[in-house]
A and B are shown apart, each in its own frame.
Chain A
């Protein structure tokens, strides 16, 4: 019962061909999914951008202060293009997940189901981040203008502190929503927030008590309402 060298070779070849014949259609399905997904995502991106431009979305975003926030965050593209890209990558990711599921590999089993379960939390977390980012920029700008008008030195520093306070609160809320290291996030945020407030209180109490008293006194006496002795209206 000795197999010949050629039998072994043929057997191995058959084995490989048999396995490939099982895997190849799945690989083909993955490739098809990726190509079709890419094409559909690209079409959807174009459509979304066109619809948003027709709705004058970029101008509206500029009016709501969203564009300024994006630029400050390092995003140089118009909001319509950013949304188009978001739609593109979301659809492509869905196609990729479907393709991976089609492979029916043990390692990827349940990947799509898991991703679908995770999606609502992800959407909420992204929304919380977006709203928080807008709020942070709005608050920081209001604080900056008020501080400069009150001729307070280091106004950009104070405004920046407000921005990062709101942003860090938002990030903590988003991470909690995603269930990522929930206890650690809550603990870290709590300690950092309490520490910042305590540091501020000590700084004002020790370093700026005279300034605070002077400002309060002048406010209560009705002084410093205007920056000068001119009447305006």
Chain B
């Protein structure tokens, strides 16, 4: 069944009735998740506190959308609301149909549109680090007419969000010309206007896998030309739920939809040239020094094992020239291991082209990227640990510029 952005189509008659019972809603926080019973109460509490604080004068509500198996997340939210009757009201709704996380995001969007909310904050039910002020940070620029889309920015150490810092953000910067910190930030704010302009003309089925819908919302905001700001929300902590995916699956769920959307937004990224920063609210997020023990040696071992055993798969995605630059890396000891950003950007571009050409089954291709990614992360963390904290921003910028340098080649090879 095709999934449309209509509340009745996504939530069913019962869900629609529960929404309508909320009455006129100016501000909505849509908490989405699947099997997130462990963390949803904490997130709902932060959302209600945020709405009842600085935004107390507005008609607002929190709706928890649960697309998991058994509806535990929605039930937990309802139980919490019964035990601590909150102001504003909290509703826990189960999204009928197959248990796909993306359907909860779609339901949150559809609910906000149905209620004709002036502003809407979408929050992952696992985002336990979200402070009440964070909800206000996401909504205030929308209500004040300063922005149509608010993306989160987090303080982080080099080892936090390495897929974002080494692949998603630099590729996004090269393609769409904006230096956004988070592509999949676990929360976002959308104005009523932005919600209204989300497409009705086509079903959203293709974006429901993995983080596809969140990535598409970000890309839509980047390519629409609407006002976009980043809100600093402190440090990010995400409860992955009871069934945390392994790294290869995480790569497939994030990088796959990102590559997939490159086809849809081909016309939008083919023209963009130099990148520009995104305006920030609440100051730039801090780059924190590394505190924990990062097992770089193990990552280097994973890279070397991949180079030895996954070569038949890589040969189908990477040209001889790229492979030729990878071979010498296998001879480096862990303490001197390096994987230059230029080579990494070339690898990612090669994989994106191979993904588009379907040279290898797509799931296999994305999972085969894992050892290469681990090699790059090992090199990045080694470099970041050896550098003074203030230089980490420069290292991150170098990665972005390396991706920008590859864009011309990518455009030429993208069919």
Query: A-side interface residues toward B, CB under 8 Å?
Result: 59, 62-65, 68, 72, 138, 141-142, 144-149, 151, 155-156, 222, 225-233
Contacts and interface: CB of A to CB of B under 8 A. Distances in A.
A231 B161 contact: yes
Contacts of A64: 358
Interface of B: 159-164, 168, 184, 211, 238, 244-248, 250-251, 254, 292-296, 298-299, 301-302, 305-306, 309-310, 312-313, 316, 357-361, 364, 367-368, 370-371, 374, 377, 381
Contact of A225 (B246, B316, B358, B381): B246
A145 B368 contact: yes
Q: Which secondary structure characterizes the binding site on chain B?
A: helix
A232 B247 contact: yes
A229 B159 contact: yes
B270 to A, nearest CB: 22
Contact of B161 (A63, A151, A155, A233): A233
Contacts of B250: 232-233
Contact of B305 (A65, A148, A232): A148
Given A151-B302, A232-B250, A145 B358 contact: no
Nearest to A226: B247
Q: Which secondary structure characterizes the binding site on chain A?
A: helix
A144 B312 CA distance: 10
Contact of A227 (B302, B316, B367, B368): B302
B162 A222 contact: no
Contact of B381 (A147, A156, A222, A230): A230
A226 B240 CA distance: 13
B310 A225 contact: no
Given A227-B247, A229-B292, A148 B371 contact: yes
Contacts of A145: 248, 310, 313, 364, 367-368
Which 6 A-B residue pairs are closest in the complex by CB-CB distance? A63-B358, A232-B163, A230-B159, A149-B248, A228-B295, A155-B309
B364 A156 contact: no
Contact of B254 (A138, A156, A233): A233
A148 B244 contact: no
* Most chain B C-beta atoms within 10 Å of own C-beta, residue among A59, A141, A222, A230: A230
12 contacts: A64-B358, A141-B360, A146-B367, A149-B367, A155-B309, A225-B244, A225-B245, A227-B247, A228-B296, A228-B298, A233-B184, A233-B250
Contacts of B244: 222, 225
A149 B358 contact: no
Given A156-B309, A226-B247, A232-B250, 15 more contacts: A59-B357, A63-B359, A65-B361, A68-B360, A141-B364, A144-B310, A222-B244, A225-B246, A229-B159, A229-B293, A230-B162, A232-B164, A232-B251, A233-B168, A233-B184
A87 B298 CA distance: 53
